[in-house]
Amino acid sequence: MASTPPDVSRSASAAAATDASPAAPRLHELAVRTRQFNSAGGNLPDLAADGPAPAGDWFGSLLTSGDHEVLTVALRDSFGDDGLVGGCVVGRRDAGTWRVRLIMMSCRAMGRGVIDALLAWLIRQAARAGAHRLEVPCVLNDRNVPLRLALASAGFRAGHRGTDQDFPVAVFQRDLAGPLPDLPGWVTAPGEHGGNVT
């Protein structure tokens, strides 16, 4: 986890988006424009059996489907409010496995511990829900090496390799047995003490 100089205070919050969420346009922008912290490499992953939804409707269809949970991440520190800087799309393959179909974070959050906090929160939530494994399919390209390093630092290991829409992909997996990672005190998140409990 990145350290913070004592004169900098920060807070990050995560929230479940709703089907009326005004966050959908910003999430779409992050999904297609971010590169360094983007598990899909800037391409919207194919989530439906009959193919991807049109780009403008992708998050809107997820928010109303009930098959996935869309989470948003906002960041504020003593330098200002960065607003919505990231998010993720979580699906549950079965009772024992959670799959993060898309994780994305703006470069504005780089070096501020936000990606580490999001991964820790995902691990904690999946374990508390009874999952045994958390998976993050990740496009393998030169641009998203920082995300893959963050995944490795959080205990994920590259497993099955394949392709998604002709892009090379590795599924990063983390076993959820054992102690859970700590969540920094500056984070407010659903299901966490002092957070937005859902």
The predicted-structure confidence for 29-40, as pLDDT tens digits, reads as follows 888 888 899 998
DSSP helix, strand, coil percent of the chain (3-state; round to 5):
25, 35, 40
The predicted-structure confidence for 151-186, as pLDDT tens digits, reads as follows 999 999 998 887 766 788 899 999 999 899 998 888
Q: How many CB atoms lie within 10 A of CB 122?
A: 23
CATH number, domain 10-188, options 3.40.50.10140, 3.30.1360.20, 3.40.630.30, 3.40.50.300:
3.40.630.30
Torsion angle (degrees, nearest 10) of CA 97, 156, 38, 99 = 0
pLDDT at 5: 40
Q: Which of 32-41, 57-66, 83-92 has the lowest mean pLDDT?
A: 57-66
| Residue spans per domain, the chain | 10-188
Please state, in angstroms and rounded to a whole number, the distance separating the CA atoms of residues 15 and 26. 14
The predicted-structure confidence for 125-159, as pLDDT tens digits, reads as follows 999 989 999 999 999 999 999 999 999 999 999 98
Please state, in angstroms and rounded to a whole number, the distance separating the CA atoms of residues 147 and 39. 7
Whole-prediction pTM: 0.82
42-60 mean pLDDT:
58
For the chain, the average pLDDT equals 80
